[in-house]
Structure 1
Amino acid sequence: MPSGKQLRQYLLVLVVLGCAPTRPPPGVERFDPKAFPESVKGPMPGFGSFDSYWDALLAACPLILSQRGANAGHRGDTSFSTRWRVSTEYCAWLYYTPDSKYELSRLVESTSPIPPDDQDERGCTLPAFVDDKRYPANSLKHLYILHNHPGTPTNISEKDITAVVNAAKIHGEYVETREGKIPVSIVAFFSRHYEPSPTTCDGFFEYSKGSAEVVKWTPDEQGQWHREKAGAVIWENEREFRFVPAR
């Protein structure tokens, strides 16, 4: 187990950029950055549970994208800049319980101010642990870091990959489930078009610990999901890497 000092170092697994509305909606947590907790509550009300991680991911996508400010649409849209200024990211853990179920934590809303230069980035800071009072704390298996990217086109960022590395230092690189051994991963959901409500899930990017590539999942008109390579992750050593997006 990491020391207390190491846990504090790894606690903020996602770098934050963004703004937040006045009051979070039900099921969404907003934390004081000066008193950031080690855990976020679970489960998400009305979400699960799920027997399959894939079903859980597909249910989490529209749930997260439909949150206030989570979707700004395509960067080429005429009204994109206005929506982008008020956009934010939400993040959550998809975790595995002793009952062999997949659950979603409550969503965490970004609270840090948007930087003056904006940099076309948003982000979300996620606590390192889930607190689900139904189970002993050490019985939960933290599997997926989930978040949205408000604008498209987009891709996984190097900060996202670093978040997976930090999470694996705390929780291990794999989770044993009844579906098999699943690596700790991060997912970025997106919607290509702006829809105030409801918001469709047009796909997501995924990076798994130990993988040499980022993948992109998108559905066709029949609802079948397809996988394609979205970039290569080149490790220089155990700590340093380069992400090369696919052309």
Structure 2
Amino acid sequence: MKRYLLVPLLFGLGCASPQTADPHIWRPAPGQNTESIPGPLKNFGSFDSFSDALKAACPLILSKPNASVGHLQEQNPELALRVSTEYCAWLYYTPVHKYELSMLTDLEAPGDALHGTASCLLPPNVDDPRYTPSSIQYIFLLHNHPFAMELSERDIYLAAAMANAHGLVAEARGRKIPLAVVAFFSNSKSAQPPTCDGFYQYIPATSELLKWLNTGSDWQKEKVGRVKWVSSTRFIITRE
């Protein structure tokens, strides 16, 4: 089994936002534990398959303010870069054989806002009071890419770190599901609620980089490349 250097999973502490509270978004108060994000997301529902859960999570995350800024990019790229926001959450599997979504968070890495880059710091654990921590299976690290770009180096390092923390593969409904990072994107150039056009995925267990397109009835897979770790802290990407 591959082992990866466990890079820092969460940097710094968040603070309460003066914005109007969004019931979907978790922003820790000063001094609050930032190693766990609350779950499940209220009024989101639970799902028998992770594919259905992804179908529901994609438009939800992309509907958040500035989660997709394609409509601004051509008109005012500086503004698009400044306001772009990433939201992230865990898709996890529960002891009652359901896929659930944690709350969302838009916590940024220190310094990113000053440099005009979007990021999202996902806590390594889910705090679902219905279940013991060890009974939860971690499936996907979900987030959005405001510019519909491919996965970043940070995404790949984070996925490797989370796989190191939780295991490369989860057991769910009698099948093995590899932990992965998922980045939803929209190709919409309109200010209207963005369409869920697909997602990029990195699977540490198989080293695959994939792109999935939303066909309406299902997800269509495209191979993008593979991640080859040349050391515990460095990788290269080979294209398909």
TM-score by length of 2: 0.85
Distance of aligned partners of 1:24 and 1:129 in 2 relative to their CA distance in 1, 3 Å threshold: same
Q: Does 1:122 align with 2:112?
A: no
Question: Deviation at 1:46?
Answer: 1.2
- Structure 2 counterpart of 1:94: 91
Question: Deviation at 1:167?
Answer: 0.6
Q: 1:173 is matched with which residue: 168, 171, 179?
A: 168
Question: Deviation at 1:213?
Answer: 2.5
Aligned residues: 232
- Structure 1 counterpart of 2:156: 161
Amino acid at match of 2:127: D
Report the secondary structure of 2:79's partner residue. Answer: helix
State the alpha-carbon separation in 2 of the partners of residues 160 and 50 from structure 1.
25
Q: Deviations over 1:49-82 (max 9, x none)?
A: 0000111111110000001121101675224432
Q: Does 1:11 align with 2:36?
A: no
Unaligned runs of 5+ in 1: 1-5
State the alpha-carbon separation in 1 of the partners of residues 31 and 81 from structure 2.
26
Contact 2:73 2:80 in 1 (8 A): no
- Structure 1 counterpart of 2:62: 65
Amino acid at match of 1:182: I
State the alpha-carbon separation in 2 of the partners of residues 237 and 96 from structure 1.
31
State the alpha-carbon separation in 2 of the partners of residues 21 and 184 from structure 1.
34
Q: 1:233 is matched with which residue: 227, 230, 239?
A: 227
State the alpha-carbon separation in 2 of the partners of residues 24 and 66 from structure 1.
15
Q: Does 1:48 align with 2:45?
A: yes
Distance of aligned partners of 1:21 and 1:206 in 2 relative to their CA distance in 1, 3 Å threshold: farther
State the alpha-carbon separation in 1 of the partners of residues 30 and 8 from structure 2.
15
Distance of aligned partners of 1:53 and 1:67 in 2 relative to their CA distance in 1, 3 Å threshold: same
Contact 1:10 1:167 in 2 (8 A): no
Distance of aligned partners of 1:113 and 1:193 in 2 relative to their CA distance in 1, 3 Å threshold: farther
State the alpha-carbon separation in 2 of the partners of residues 88 and 21 from structure 1.
16
Equivalent residue runs for 1:4-43 within 5 Å: 10-12=8-10, 22-31=19-28, 37-43=34-40
Q: 1:131 is matched with which residue: 127, 131, 145?
A: 127
Percentage of matched positions with identical amino acids: 43
State the alpha-carbon separation in 1 of the partners of residues 144 and 45 from structure 2.
19
State the alpha-carbon separation in 2 of the partners of residues 32 and 230 from structure 1.
40
Unaligned runs of 5+ in 2: none
Question: Deviation at 1:231?
Answer: 2.8
Report the secondary structure of 2:54's partner residue. Answer: helix
